A and B are shown apart, each in its own frame.
Chain A
Amino acid sequence: MPKERWFDEAVVEAPKEDRGRLRKESLGPLPEVWNVRELEKNAFERESYEKSLAALNVLLGEIGLPPASVSSGRIHIVSDEEYDRSIGSESRGSAAYGHGYVRRQESKNDSCMT
């Protein structure tokens, strides 16, 4: 059986007779489909990503799942202007094809709704 979990590479699950006919572009790294002009992560954003991933992996361990591997390259920090232009003005954050997009925050705590 093919693996069902994957992160930086696609794992193809298809009937055996079809595998030889699959398009090559179905394989390989996850595409960054929005083509955003991302900002270089600052020290706080780097730490936030690292700590959030570590906290997530603590949670995964508690529910009996192996740790997740999410490279920092799949988290894109974007200016408001670029976010509105490339992704849309309606959302605060977005995820597509295994990539995540968040707006750069002026304050450290971007909490909003309660």
Chain B
Amino acid sequence: MHDLTHELSHIVSYGALQVHGFDKRGKAEVHRKPMQSGFAFWEWSPSDMLSKEKTPAFAGWNEAVTELMAHLVRKRLRKIGSPLGEEEQDGLESSFVYYPHLMILQRLIGECFPAAGERDEAFKELYRAYLKGNYDYLDKLDERRPGVREILHGMGAEFDDAMKAMRALGYDDLAEKFEAAGE
């Protein structure tokens, strides 16, 4: 259930257009829009999506939002009648993947939108941006915390990537906590 809800969130955020066109000479193929899944996008070609070597832009940020969406889905499973028993459902709701990335997301949005009402709306807007592939949200974060967009652009999905991003964001306390606990 845990993996399924995470991948399902990825699937519904996949709004990429596999558009192939040609340049003005009618020869070289060009990609008019990058392959995109949620906030992640592959900057060079569609085949990069399957490459183990190439990391998409916003990879770690995308995983954080995906896991947050999946978490909300898991919680709603209980409401509609989860196929899991009570204890298993508790476990499902209290476990996470990409946890360091998720902590970055929560702290960052908390910082950028400190008022409670504003923050709730900011999260909703985040989910809508993720599902529609809208990057304006990242610009909004960058307005409130200059430089954030660039840090998130380069943050990969690995543990070390999250640690590096935490340091760049000034979240040393968070990084120290995770580093002490180990991967």
Contacts and interface: CB of A to CB of B under 8 A. Distances in A.
Interface of A: 4-6, 10-15, 18, 21-23, 25-26, 33-34, 44, 47-49, 51-56, 58-60, 63-65, 68, 70, 74-75, 88, 92-103, 105, 108-114
Interface centre among B10, B81, B94 (most CB of A within 10 A): B10
Contact of A22 (B9, B19, B72): B19
The 9 tightest CB contacts between A and B, nearest first, are A100-B7, A95-B10, A111-B95, A93-B3, A55-B76, A109-B88, A102-B3, A68-B12, A47-B83
A33 B11 CA distance: 14
B92 A103 contact: no
Nearest to A5: B15
B84 A109 contact: yes
Given A52-B5, A97-B49, 18 more contacts: A23-B20, A48-B1, A48-B4, A51-B80, A52-B4, A56-B8, A59-B76, A63-B128, A64-B128, A70-B8, A74-B11, A88-B52, A93-B3, A96-B49, A102-B3, A111-B2, A111-B92, A114-B95
Nearest to B88: A109
B6 to A, nearest CB: 6
B114 interface: no
A58 B11 contact: no
Contacts of A55: 5, 73-74, 76-77, 79-80
B76 A96 contact: no
14 contacts: A13-B19, A51-B80, A55-B76, A55-B77, A56-B5, A56-B12, A58-B79, A59-B73, A63-B124, A65-B128, A75-B8, A95-B7, A105-B3, A111-B1
B164 interface: no
Contact of A54 (B37, B80, B85, B131): B80
Nearest to A100: B7
A100 B37 CA distance: 12
Contacts of A4: 15, 132-133
B141 interface: no
Nearest to A77: B4
A6 B15 contact: yes
A72 to B, nearest CB: 11
**Interface footprint category on B:** 35 or more
B32 to A, nearest CB: 6
Nearest to A45: B4
A100 B97 contact: no
A45 to B, nearest CB: 8
B26 interface: yes
Nearest to B26: A21
Contacts of B45: none
